[in-house]
Each structure stands twice: as C-alpha cells, then as structure tokens.
C-alpha cells in the first residue's frame, strides 16, 4: 500500500514562500537557495512588466550566478519551462556597463525542500512495521518553508529517534548517501514551554507520522546560542517573522531562558543586534493574533 501523505505542508510544496523579492534574498543573506532565487526572479518579472535598470541588472547578475552554479544544461531547462524564460534571456542579452552584485554565486546553495523531505520519510515509513510519531525541530522546519537557507546535514528529532527508525540501518545509510542527511536529536528543554501544542502536521508516511516544531519556537530556542550558524539563522528569520509574535513568545513561554543568568546576556545581545533595539523584558503586552 502506498504511503498516506496529508498535512499542513504538502509533500509537493516548494521551498519558496508565497511572495518573493529578489532584493531581500541577495541583500544581507549569507546563504541563498538557488531554487528560491529562481522563483523570486520569476515572481518579480511577473509583477513588473517594465523593470528599471537596477532591477534588470540584479536579474542579470542573479541569472549569471545561477547559470554558473547549476551549469548550462540545468539553467537552460529552467528557462525553457519558466513563464518568464524569454524575458530573462532578453535581459541576459542586454549590454550593462557594470557588475552590480558580484557575490551572489558564492552564496548559492541547494538545501532540502518539502518534496525531498517527504521522500526521506516515505523511505522510512514504508519499511516500518509499527507506528511511530516524530517531532522535527532544528533547521528543517525553517528550511522547507523557505525562511532560512543555511544547509543542514541533520534531521533533528525532539528528544529521541524512535527505535523503529534506528532499526532501519540500511535505509538510514541510503538516506545519508542519497540526501546527505542523518537522524539526530534536539532536546525539548531547549524549546519554549507549550511547544508540543503548537506543532504543525507535515504528513503521514505509511506508519510514520511527522510533525514540525513551530518556527517561532525555533527562533526563541536559538536566540540564546552563541554559535555562528544559529546567530545567522535567527538574523535571517528576523527578516521574515513577525517581531511582535517573536517578542511575545520569548517573554511568555520562553521566559525561563531569560531568567537563566547564563543565557540572558546572549539573548539580549542577539536581540539588540538583530532588531537594532534593546529588548524591554518587562513589557509583555497582549498576545498577538495567531500567525499564518
């Protein structure tokens, strides 16, 4: 029987958010997912019938970077099927008197997307003989929703990897070889209280049910970290998450982190750096409306 897949995030979902802006992707981002950048170019051209010189220069440089990263064959395949392919080719044929965005190529990456993650869990779920449920934290939830782009090698499961998964050594080896992913663990005590009530269903794959940790819980959990990769992630997340919701989550369900004298200085410093203003730890305010 084929695996059942249903949930809030469908296995065919792209890595890109619904509305994309190529300027936001290339400005101040340490990593740029190549597929998201291609989608952003398409969306920007669809929204702008006559882009100005600076926008055309950005599209030219971003497209040149994609061609260098993907190779000519994959790049041409994208243009052949893209509704904006002919316009991209027109811009590439223009004469520009400058190179405006020379660092795009070195920041391009391909991280796992929702479809590929579904394939990972399908391979696991169809081999399992007993039901199991996992909660995925770490970087995966923000990656597959297009909120961050820093690649990861770990599917971080909250608290433990179920024995039913650990027994599948052959499948786990295949996943590492094919997708470059291995199963890991992230402790639940690093998440704000009530995190288990905010899980987002990803889908059911045979005997395996998969839920994702809420992105605001992930943001709060990484605020206290002094690791460079976590600080980069929260800085990028801050560009797309609602600041009021993040603040409320930190000051309420994440209050224990602030009350920990070992964590508080790093949280306050990270917040000040990210939002360019100090955090008022005493002003909780009313709970914001639920985010989409």
> pLDDT digit string (tens) for 72-109?
999 999 999 999 999 999 999 999 888 788 899 999 99
- Residues 126 and 84 reside in one and the same domain: no
pLDDT value at 283 more than 90: no
- Give domain status of residue 243, yes or no: no
- Residues 105 and 139 reside in one and the same domain: no
Q: How confident is the model at residue 256 (pLDDT cuts 50, 70, 90)?
A: very high
pLDDT value at 236 more than 50: yes
pLDDT value at 5 more than 80: no
What is the β-pairing status of strands 154-158 and 208-212? unpaired
Structure confidence at residue 287 (pLDDT): 61
pLDDT, tens digit (0-9, with 9 covering 90-100), for 25-62: 888 788 999 999 999 999 999 999 899 999 999 999 99
pLDDT value at 71 more than 90: yes
Higher pLDDT, 145 or 286: 145
- Give domain status of residue 227, yes or no: no
- Residues 134 and 53 reside in one and the same domain: no
- Separation CA 210–CA 195 (nearest Å): 15
- Residues 133 and 99 reside in one and the same domain: no
- Residues 162 and 200 reside in one and the same domain: yes
pLDDT value at 15 more than 70: no
- Give domain status of residue 133, yes or no: yes
DSSP 195: G
Which residue is it, tokens 């398409």?
42
- φ, ψ of residue 162 to 5 degrees: the values are -55, 145
- Separation CA 44–CA 42 (nearest Å): 6
Give the pTM: 0.80
Can you give 28-93 as a three-state secondary structure string? CCCCEEHHHHHHHHHHHHHHCCCCCHHHHHHHHHHHHHHHHHHCHHHHHHHHHHCCCHHHHHHHHC
Domain of 178, in residue numbers: 114-143+151-209
pLDDT value at 210 more than 60: yes
Extract the tokens encoding 251: 């000051």
- φ, ψ of residue 272 to 5 degrees: the values are -60, -40
- Residues 74 and 88 reside in one and the same domain: yes
pLDDT, tens digit (0-9, with 9 covering 90-100), for 108-145: 998 888 999 999 999 999 888 888 999 999 999 999 98
Residue 80 burial (CB count, 10 A): 9
- DSSP strands (E only) in 58-196: 108-109, 132-136, 154-158, 182-186
- DSSP strands (E only) in the chain: 32-33, 108-109, 132-136, 154-158, 182-186, 200-205, 208-212
Number of structural domains in the chain: 2
CATH of the domain at 125: 3.30.460
């Amino acid at each position: 029987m084929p695996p059942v897949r249903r949930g809030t995030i469908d296995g065919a979902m792209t890595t890109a958010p619904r509305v994309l802006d190529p300027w936001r992707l290339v400005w101040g981002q340490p990593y740029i997912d190549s597929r998201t950048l291609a989608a952003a170019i398409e969306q920007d051209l669809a929204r702008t019938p006559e882009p100005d010189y600076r926008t055309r220069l950005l599209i030219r440089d971003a497209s040149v970077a994609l061609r260098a990263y993907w190779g000519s064959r994959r790049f041409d395949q994208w243009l052949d099927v893209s509704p904006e392919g002919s316009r991209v080719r027109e811009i590439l044929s223009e004469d520009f008197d400058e190179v405006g965005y020379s660092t795009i190529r070195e920041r391009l990456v391909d991280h796992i997307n929702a479809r590929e993650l579904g394939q990972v869990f399908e391979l696991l779920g169809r081999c399992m003989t007993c039901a199991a449920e996992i909660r995925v934290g770490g970087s995966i939830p923000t990656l597959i929703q297009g909120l961050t782009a820093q690649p990861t090698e770990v599917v971080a499961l909250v608290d433990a990897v179920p024995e039913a998964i650990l027994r599948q050594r052959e499948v786990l080896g295949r996943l590492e070889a094919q997708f470059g992913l291995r199963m890991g663990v992230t402790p639940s005590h690093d998440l704000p209280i009530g995190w288990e009530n905010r899980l987002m269903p990803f889908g059911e794959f045979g005997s395996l049910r998969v839920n994702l940790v809420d992105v605001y819980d992930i943001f709060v959990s990484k605020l206290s970290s002094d690791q460079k990769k976590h600080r980069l992630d929260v800085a990028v997340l801050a560009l797309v998450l609602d600041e009021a919701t993040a603040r409320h989550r930190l000051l309420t369900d994440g209050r224990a982190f602030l009350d920990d004298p070992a964590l508080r200085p790093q949280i306050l410093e990270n917040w000040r750096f990210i939002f360019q203003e100090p955090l008022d730890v005493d002003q909780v305010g009313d709970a914001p409306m639920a985010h989409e």
